[in-house]
Structure 1
Amino acid sequence: MTVTAIADRRPNLPHYEERVDLAAAFRWTARLNMHEAVANHFSLAVDEAGTQFLINPNMMHFSRIRASDLLLIDAEDPTTMERPDAPDPTAWGLHGALHRRVPHARCAMHVHSIHATVLASLADSTLPPIDQNSAMFFERVVIDGGYGGLAFEEEGERCAALFSDPRVKVMVMGNHGVLVIGRTVADTFDRLYYFERACETYIKALWTGKPLRRLSDEVARTVARQIDDYPVSMGGRHLAELKAILDEEGSTFRG
């Protein structure tokens, strides 16, 4: 599709720019091999209350998702799963609960990425501050140790309740995967990216069998605060660069 054709569609496609950001995040997540076949899901609230949100269509591979493919649903609509284009039941269970119960979770990304899932499989799923990337998550992660099966509505409600502390931006879903929340697609994707990187470093450090050089709580707390207060939107620039790369390659994600 040409740039002109895409532009012509914008007035008839609600929340177009938000859709474009979300589609780009799906495409890049697949490129990083952080997806899982046709499972996993991202969502983004688009109204002030946070209950109306965009989410990926059921059983569509992340690498093919376009802006126009995203579903617009309402967490307060009990008939959602009766729609002919209903989302995956676990996407509704998990993301519906989040957008009903956690207003500050404007965007939510759930994956079974390799290294975060390895962390979630350990008896101690704590991510220690052993480098700058892991330190940025200090005191900003909650570990869910109560996995009860697929994230249908009851499981989704239970998970949503674990985000009561507004500092928490990442849930290590024990025996399952990871769930990351944020204000925007850019903010959330950047956090997802760095959490997976931090997990990879930690898991590979464990492979060596040698003692780890753990940062003090004081230093880790300082790093996490500095990242939170960083004067430039690193997430915004990160996503902008990824979209530029996709555009240069002729990707259809904006369609």
Structure 2
Amino acid sequence: MNAPVADLIDEVALRIDLAAAFRLTARFGWHESVGNHFSAALSRDGRRFLMNRKWRPFATIRASDLQVLDTDDADVMNRPDAPDASAWCIHGAAHARVPAARVILHCHPIAITTLSALADPRLLPVDQNTARFFGRHAVDYECGGIADNDAEGLRIAGYLATAPTLISANHGVTCIADTVAEAFENLYFVEKAAETLLRAYATGKPLAVMSDVIAEHTAQGWDAYRGMAFEHFAHLKSLLDDEDPGYRD
């Protein structure tokens, strides 16, 4: 008899990769005290997933620390080990409704969060990194404060169903992908893109925004470089293995 499809997911490897993403995010200074959350689907339908426990510092998270949650667990928020309310709002709703959201990284890096505070928080295509997201990011202009209610979660999930990168006005960014490496690469480049755009704005000079045709051509050009994510993430993990190997525990 064949094993269930869900059993084919390597939970140990997934835990290690997600733990590495937490440690690296702390190193890059993208985390928010003991807030923000990353998650990764354990089941093929995405409804069972791993996520960091409530209020754990990113710099100390280990593979074994990650909590298993189920979107069908109606009592999840009533348990002693209940996740953070905003984490459940965003990740629970997205894993329940967006099968493509295998991995969800939500945090508040300074550049992309600063961009989210502008009246126009779009990533305008002014260089290759910003053009990477042309037609491939969404902007949620409706800020509901702390994302901790069902309506907020449903709205965020709706945007994530349309684009793998979501800029939430006055809030931060959410990146989704099939793998931790690819989601982390999106996070890495969206922060770089935001920093470039903000520096361009800071000059006070007119922006040289690419035409839609060139921007789309550039975005499509990035498709051939998808393998970069795995090589980059493997390199970053090797640095952790040398200097901070506890993430694997």
Normalised by the shorter chain, which TM-score bucket? over 0.9
165, 190, 194: which one pairs with 2:189?
194
Deviations 1:194-237 (A, max 9, x none): 0000000110111111122222211110111121243x511111
Structure 2 CA distance for aligned equivalents of residues 159 and 130 of structure 1? 27
Q: Does 1:107 align with 2:106?
A: no
> What amino acid is the match of 1:91?
A
Q: Which residue of 2 aligns with 1:71?
A: 67
Question: In structure 2, what is the Cα distance between the partners aligned to 1:102 and 1:182?
Answer: 11
Residues 26 and 62 in structure 1, CA contact (< 8 A), matched pair in contact too: yes
Write the distance in 2 (CA, Å) between the matches of 1:103 and 1:76.
15
Of 132, 151, 154, 1:154 maps to 151
- Give SS of 2:174's match: strand
Q: Could you list the per-position Cα deviations for residues 164-197 of structure 1 after superposition, in whole angstroms to 9, with x for gaps in the alignment?
A: 32xx111110011111111110000000010000
DSSP-derived class of the 2:248 partner: coil
Q: Which residue matches 1:249?
A: 243
Amino acid at match of 1:181: I
CA RMSD, 1 decimal: 1.2
Are the counterparts in 1 of residues 100 and 161 from structure 2 also a CA contact under 8 Å? no
Aligned-residue offset at 1:250: 4.1
> Quick check: 1:35–1:112 contact (8 Å CA) kept in 2?
yes
Q: Which amino acid counterpart does residue 42 of structure 2 have in structure 1?
A: V
Counterpart of 2:28, as a letter, is L
Q: Which residue of 2 aligns with 1:10?
A: none
Distance 2:244 2:120 in 1: 44
Quote how far apart the aligned CAs of 1:247 are: 0.6
Q: How much has 1:149 moved relative to structure 2?
A: 2.1
Q: Which runs of 5+ in 1 are unaligned?
A: 1-13
**Structure 1: which 4+ aligned runs deviate by more than 3 Å?**
none
Is residue 2:136 matched to residue 1:140? yes
- The one-letter amino acid of 2:154's match is E
**Counterparts of 2:151 and 2:24, CA distance in 1:** 31
TM-score normalized by structure 2? Answer: 0.93
DSSP-derived class of the 1:39 partner: coil
Q: Classify the secondary structure of the residue corresponding to 1:54.
A: strand
Question: What is the one-letter code of the residue matched to 1:161?
Answer: G
Q: Deviations over 1:90-130 (max 9, x none)?
A: 10111000000111011111111111111111101111111
Tell me the residue number matched to 1:226.
Answer: 221
Unaligned runs of 5+ in 2: 1-9
How many equivalent residue pairs? 239
Alignment check: 8 A CA contact 1:149 1:155 kept: no
Deviation at 1:80, TM superposition (A): 1.3
Percent of aligned positions that are identical: 46
Report the TM-score when normalising by structure 1. Answer: 0.91
Please report how far the alpha carbon of residue 82 of structure 1 lies from its aligned counterpart in structure 2 after TM superposition: 2.3
Tell me, in whole angstroms, the C-alpha distance in 1 between the residues paired with 2:244 and 2:56: 20
The aligned runs of 1:41-120 (5 Å cut-off) are: 41-120=37-116
Separation of aligned partners in 2, 1:234 and 1:85: 37
**Which residue in the other structure is 2:124 paired with?**
128
Q: Secondary structure at the match of 2:229?
A: helix
